[in-house]
Amino acid sequence: EAQVTQNPRYLITVTGKKLTVTCSQNMNHEYMSWYRQDPGLGLRQIYYSMNVEVTDKGDVPEGYKVSRKEKRNFPLILESPSPNQTSLYFCASSLEGAPNEKLFFGSGTQLSVL
C-alpha cells in the first residue's frame, strides 16, 4: 500500500531534550516536506526536499533540522525543543514537486514540549 509513515504518533518531551520524528515513503517520491499545524494558522511549511541531499527552508525553519540521505526517508530533528514547538506535525511527499501534484500526507505527530 502506498503510504507515508510517520513516527511517533504522539510525543511528550521536555525543553532541551533532542528528538527526531521519522518520516518514510514507499512511493519513490522525489519531493518530501514537513509542516506544522497550529490553530488559526493552518499548515506552515518547515523544510522541504526536492531530492536526495537537496533541502530548503520553508516558512518556519527556525529550531528545526532535516536531512535527506536516502530517497525514502526525511527525518525532522529538534535539537533543543522549546514549548513554542508544541504542535501537530505532518510529513508529506509527492512525485517531483510540480504544481499539479497532490501531496500524500503521513498521519501526523502530536508533539508536546513541557
Partner 1 sequence: AQKITQTQPGMFVQEKEAVTLDCTYDTSDPSYGLFWYKQPSSGEMIFLIYQGSYDQQNATEGRYSLNFQKARKSANLVISASQLGDSAMYFCAMRDAGGTSYGKLTFGQGTILTVHP
Cα–Cα distance between 19 and 63 in angstroms, integer? Answer: 12
Task: Find the binder of partner 1 among 48, 55, 74, 76 (CB under 8 A).
Answer: 48
Q: Which residues within the stretch 13-32 sit at the binding site for partner 1 (CB under 8 A)?
A: 31
Q: Pick between residue 89 and residue 113 the one whose CB is nearest to partner 1.
A: 89
Grid cell at residue 7: 513516527
Q: Which of 36, 54, 32 is nearest to 45 (CA)?
A: 36
Verify binding: residue 10, partner 1, rule CB under 8 A: no
Task: Single out the residue of 99, 58, 94 nearest to residue 76, CA to CA.
Answer: 58
Task: Kindly list the residues in this chain that would bind partner 1 in the complex (CB under 8 A).
Answer: 31, 33, 35, 40-45, 48, 50, 56, 58, 88, 90, 92, 97-105, 107-108, 110
